[in-house]
Each structure stands twice: as C-alpha cells, then as structure tokens.
C-alpha cells in the first residue's frame, strides 16, 4: 500500500521493528510509546522503510524483557520475518488517545518555533529525548533565529515552557539566549 503525501504527514511513528525473534516468524519491536506496552493495543500497523509502506495485521503481541515481540499475520518463518527489520511502525494521529488540554504528544511539538520572554527566536524544536531527570528538547536554528546555535532546553511545562500554541506553531519559554 503506497501512502500519499497527505496521509504520510498525519502518521505518527510509534516504534520500530528491530530484528527477528525465535524461529516461528516473530519480530522484535522497540516501542517509542510511554509506557512501552501502549503499543500492544494496536493490531493494524502501517510500516514504512526507505519510502516503502506496507499495511500488516498483528495476530500475537506481548512484552518480552525490555521490548515487545509480535507476530505478523501470514509470517511464520524466521527468514520472512527478517525482511521486516528496520520498518517504522506508524499509526494515524487521529487514532491516538485524546489528551488533556495542556498535554501534548511529542510529534506535536516538533517544528514549533521557540521564542523566549525577551522576544528572541531561539529556533525550532527538532527533537525531544528522555534523560532520566526530565525530557529535553533539541532546538535548532531556523530562518529568523537569533543566532546559529543549537540549544538543549528542558521540557518542563510551567517552569521553562510557559506557553504552547499549536495553531500558531509557537512555544514561549523562560530561557536566556546566552545559555
């Protein structure tokens, strides 16, 4: 199944198939969801790798150690399962659970322009990552940025992240441009 550009923009990456598991055609999956077992509730996956897309049905899925293992319908051989390694697992954004008014999925924050209280454009949110203590945003320069610096800002709403306006594509932060 080929994805149209409009459809591809509305898909969210929930994980990635990393390798095979066992000899009966199962695959090992790295979940990007929090908690990781949230991925278990989805049985229709869209897969994408290097521009190729596929739609698959998951017949069995479970948590195993620090990952998830799954069996794709019609795949019962280790070598066939190996062909799925490297595929991202996608889901239409409208199938994700609704969040509270002041909560956001990370994919919603990517691309927001980040401005501090002094009105200085620091850049755009490029990515987010967990660090243990708190989540961190990588803010990269964009057109109109104050300078060409990349910045790592803590993603701590109410402490450093003062306002998020998804419609305007903007985030207001309490952050000194010199940091």
pLDDT digits 0-9 by tens, 66-100 = 889 999 999 999 999 999 999 999 999 888 888 88
Residue 139, pLDDT score = 98
Per-residue pLDDT averaged across 96-111, rounded? Answer: 89
Question: How many whole angstroms separate alpha carbon 138 and alpha carbon 164?
Answer: 16
pLDDT at 116 exceeding the cut of 50: yes
Mean pLDDT of the chain: 91
CB 141 within 8 A of CB 155: no
Residues 6+ apart with CB under 8 A from 38: 31
Domains of the chain: 5-95 (2.40.30.60), 106-173 (2.30.30.240)
Query: Which is nearest to 37 in space by CA: 65, 73, 57?
Result: 65
More confident residue, 132 or 99: 99
Q: What φ, ψ does residue 169 adopt, rounded to 5°?
A: 75, 35
């Amino acid at each position: 199944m080929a994805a149209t550009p409009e459809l591809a923009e509305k898909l969210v990456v929930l994980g990635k198939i990393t390798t095979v598991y066992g000899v009966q055609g199962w695959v090992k999956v790295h979940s990007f969801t929090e908690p990781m077992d949230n991925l278990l509730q989805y049985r229709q996956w869209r897969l994408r790798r290097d521009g190729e897309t596929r739609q698959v049905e998951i017949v069995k899925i479970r948590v195993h150690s620090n990952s998830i293992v799954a069996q794709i319908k019609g795949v019962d051989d280790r070598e066939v399962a190996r062909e799925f390694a490297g595929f991202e697992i996608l889901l239409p954004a409208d199938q994700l659970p609704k969040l509270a008014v002041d909560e956001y999925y990370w994919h919603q924050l990517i691309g927001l322009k980040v401005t501090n209280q002094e009105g200085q454009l620091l850049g755009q949110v490029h990515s987010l990552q967990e660090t243990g203590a708190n989540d961190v945003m990588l803010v990269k320069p964009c057109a109109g940025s104050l300078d060409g610096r990349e910045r790592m800002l803590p993603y701590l709403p109410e402490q450093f992240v003062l306002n998020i306006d998804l419609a305007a594509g903007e985030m207001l932060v309490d952050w000194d441009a010199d940091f």
